[in-house]
Amino acid sequence: MNFTCTTVYDYPAIKTLQYEILYKKRNPTLCVVLRAVMRGVPAVLIDGAVIYLLFTGGADEMLPMWMMFGVLFSTLLFITLYLHIGAPKAAYRANSRNGEAKVVYTFRDGSFTADAVANGVSSSTNTAYTSLFAAYRTKSYYLLFMTKNSANLVSRANLTQEQDAWLENTLKNTLGKAYYTCKF
């Protein structure tokens, strides 16, 4: 079966791609909430202990150690929140400076071709299904990973049900355990 579909790399597409690279097949919102709680609760408790020690004039030799742990956990909390909120926005801003990329995918029996056009510059790559590292199917996209951190993003909204089923079966049969279905 041969067919083509077009994907525009807009903000939701880039956000999905960033989350899949960061979190792999886990729910990104749940991951961030759990990480924020695991890093935020110790940060608040330690910062509270530091403030208590400062105001009560408690153990002066313990204060630098408590401050160091407070800074460490606070930094981890801010990094977690940046990766979830700031990184996709930064990636979108960097990509939108060159104009939104439009990629036309042509799927064939043994391989697919990605023809990308952004800001007057075009490129074309032909990739065999057997050379894919992994493939993920979310509610809105297929992510076809060439390497661990590089993927093509195929919008499922532009596929018919027959094309969607064919692509899913082709990826499942070709990749086996490297094909994942995400619930989000």
Distance CA 89, CA 70 (A): 28
Q: Which fold has domain 3-10+101-181?
A: PH-domain like (2.30.29)
Which pLDDT belongs to residue 103? 87
Higher-confidence residue of 159 and 148: namely: 159
Residues 164-173: tens digit of each pLDDT = 999 999 999 9
How many CB atoms are located within 10 Å of the residue 155 CB? 20
Where are the domains positioned within the chain? 3-10+101-181, 23-96
- Per-residue pLDDT tens over the stretch 7-27: 877 667 766 666 666 555 555
Grade residue 37 by pLDDT with cuts at 50, 70 and 90.
Answer: low
